[in-house]
């Protein structure tokens, strides 16, 4: 694992998992309500955050497995990293579409810190996976 990956991987894990449980969207003005990626209290509700938590745990498992366990571990990490980036971009795009459809409505939906953290963490996962692939390719040549 490269030094860049060793430094960014824990940050990416914290950002994506914590961001999945933080608010993703705020609707309303005077009486507002929050949408979470995974809401635990008062009732269990999933708005896309559970898939992100599961994919993040898969990336953690792939990073700490020995390289001879799966032949192309770096390629699997890149695939899961791209999947995380796609999912977080999908949720941001969905929020922007909802926001553009509600023009002129008081209390437009706004993006919150949780979705931003998930997006930044998935980008860091992808960058650390690409740096690991480059390191493995340099070792082979």
List of domains in the chain: 3-140 (1.20.140)
Instruction: Quote the CA–CA distance of 67 and 129 in Å, as a whole number.
Output: 13
Instruction: Quote the CA–CA distance of 37 and 44 in Å, as a whole number.
Output: 11
What pLDDT is stored for residue 60 in this prediction? 86
Each residue's pLDDT tens digit in the chain (141 positions)? 667 778 888 999 999 999 999 999 998 878 888 888 898 888 888 888 999 999 999 888 877 777 677 777 778 888 998 999 999 999 999 999 988 888 888 888 888 999 999 999 999 999 988 887 777 666 665
Instruction: Quote the CA–CA distance of 67 and 85 in Å, as a whole number.
Output: 24
Going through the chain in order, the beta strands assigned E by DSSP cover 23-27, 33-36, 38-39, 45-46, 110-111
Q: What is the value of pTM for the model shown?
A: 0.86
């Amino acid at each position: 694992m490269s030094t860049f990956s060793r430094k960014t991987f824990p940050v990416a894990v914290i950002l994506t998992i914590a961001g999945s449980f933080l608010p993703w969207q705020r609707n309303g003005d005077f009486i507002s309500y929050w949408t979470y990626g995974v809401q635990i209290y008062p009732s269990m509700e999933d708005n896309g955050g559970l898939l992100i938590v599961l994919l993040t745990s898969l990336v953690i498992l792939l990073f700490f497995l020995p390289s001879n366990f799966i032949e192309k571990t770096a390629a699997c990490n890149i695939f899961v990293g791209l999947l995380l980036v796609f999912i977080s971009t999908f949720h941001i795009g969905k929020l922007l579409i909802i926001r553009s459809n509600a023009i002129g409505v008081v209390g437009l939906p706004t993006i919150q810190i949780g979705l931003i953290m998930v997006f930044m963490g998935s980008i860091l996962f992808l960058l650390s996976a690409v740096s690991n692939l480059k390191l493995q390719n340099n070792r082979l040549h």
